[in-house]
Amino acid sequence: MAVDSVKQQLNKVFNDEEAPINKKLPKELLLRIFSYLDVVSLCRCAQVSKSWNILALDGSNWQRIDLFDFQKDVEGPIIENISRRCGGFLRQLSLRGCQSIADGSMKTLAQLCPNVEDLNLNGCKKLTDSSCNAFSKHCSKLQKLNLDSCAAITDMSLKALSDGCPNLTHINVSWCSNITENGVEALARGCPRLKSFISKGCKQVTSRAVICLARFCKHLEVINLLGCCSIRDEAVQSLAEKCPDLHYVCLSGCSFLTDASLIALAQKCPLLSTLEVAGCSQFTDAGFQALARSCRYLEKMDLDECILITDTTLIHLAMGCPRIEYLTLSHCELITDDGIRHLSMSPCAAENLTILELDNCPLITDASLEHLTSCHNLQRVELYDCQLITRLGIRRLRSHLPNIKVHAYFAPVTPPPSAGGNRQRYCRCCIIL
């Protein structure tokens, strides 16, 4: 009986249109409260009463929608209903991972939500150039577009966007393998306000494409060319010369680049904070020395497989880059304990260094771990395949930094041959298996 009484009281409070909560709070205030809720909460509120249903589903509350958590269930009709409900109110929509979405839904969205500014379509693999043509026709206010892994997208999409979306500032076409220098050039000419260009894995993006970006998009701050393996020094030099606001640069996998690229960035891009150059095997200490002298805001550096660098690079980074938080030196096989010693004595190590990756650095020993005990903010160290590192050295490091995560691998010891003659030998893993 007590439960039934409580239910009746709740029904009076919420379901009755004349309930106190609806009388005392004006609709404008309820609308404002609902505007802070996420999609799930709004849907729950819509089930409380008729008046709350109207208020919760008001288009003004649906300006920013993220459907990632519902990606498996989101299909075309849902997007079309949302488009009708939101109309001109919609500003930001994330459909990341919604693989069932096709061009028809995007055309409806573009027509009914012309004020959308931010679209995340990462992983919507059914989308083609037709969607971008619709955005070009109806969404002139579009500023951010993520087409990561939309493999059917071609240069036609970039040409359409250049014609109809002049306010575009951020675009991601990573893993859209059909994108070429022609599409990038058209985009650069039509979208001069571009600040972020990400094209990971687009092997047909060439030096000419990058030079066009630098020429027409002088406000670029972020560029990611991971895996654009034909990029040459002249492209990076053009970027550095004409885009002085660059603070994030990824050139990983661009193996034709030399120190000339690093020197150009050092001379022209003093705001650089993130540099990822994994696999740029021609870079040497000279290039990083130039960076360390000029780029004091560097916080993250990925030097994985920069196989020519030595302790000299670490010495210069220690002196010139006091803000470094994340440093990857994996597969830099010439790095020794002395380089780590200089790094650990620097201001950046004592105050800021949080992640250090030293995988496959064969000359690193327990002495390096002893040096790292002075890095009080160090949170994680990677030591895979550092064969001179011992468990004792790791225990000593943890005794000074008890919260640190150390990732290491110790190969099982192969037992000595037995006296039984030619019997096959097994390591401990094989015995367990």
Backbone angles phi, psi at 368, to 5 degrees: -65, -40
pLDDT at 254: 98
pLDDT of 34 above 90: no
Q: Which H or E element spans position 196?
A: strand 196-198
CA–CA dist 37, 43 (Å, integer): 10
pLDDT of 66 above 60: yes
Confidence band, pLDDT 50/70/90 cuts, at residue 264: very high
SS3 289: helix
| Model confidence, pTM | 0.87
The b/e string for 14-26 (b: 16+ C-beta within 10 A; e otherwise) is beeeebeebeeee
pLDDT of 140 above 70: yes
Which tens digits make up the pLDDT trace of 74-120?
A: 889 989 988 998 899 999 999 999 999 999 999 999 999 999 999 99
The b/e string for 288-309 (b: 16+ C-beta within 10 A; e otherwise) is bbbbbebbebbbbbbbbbbbbb
pLDDT at 428: 37
**DSSP for residue 88:** G
Task: Report how far apart the first and last C-alpha atoms of the chain are (Å, whole number).
Answer: 61
Average pLDDT, the chain: 90
Q: Which residue has 């390591």 as its token pair?
A: 427
- Higher-scoring residue by pLDDT: 122, 13: 122
- Spell out where 243-336 has E strands: 248-250, 274-276, 300-302, 326-328
Which tens digits make up the pLDDT trace of 382-398?
A: 999 999 999 999 999 99
**Mean pLDDT, range 322-343, rounded to an integer:** 97
- Spell out where 280-424 has E strands: 300-302, 326-328, 355-357, 380-382, 405-407
Which tens digits make up the pLDDT trace of 399-421?
A: 999 999 999 987 665 565 554 44
- Higher-scoring residue by pLDDT: 60, 364: 364
CA–CA dist 282, 379 (Å, integer): 30
Which tens digits make up the pLDDT trace of 67-86?
A: 888 777 788 998 998 899 88
**Bridge partners (DSSP) listed for residue 326:** 300, 355
pLDDT at 20: 64
pLDDT of 1 above 50: no
Question: Which of 24-33, 223-232, 333-342 has the weakest average pLDDT?
Answer: 24-33
**Mean pLDDT, range 251-258, rounded to an integer:** 98
Q: Closest by alpha carbon to 240, among 270, 274, 275, 216?
A: 270
Confidence band, pLDDT 50/70/90 cuts, at residue 430: very low
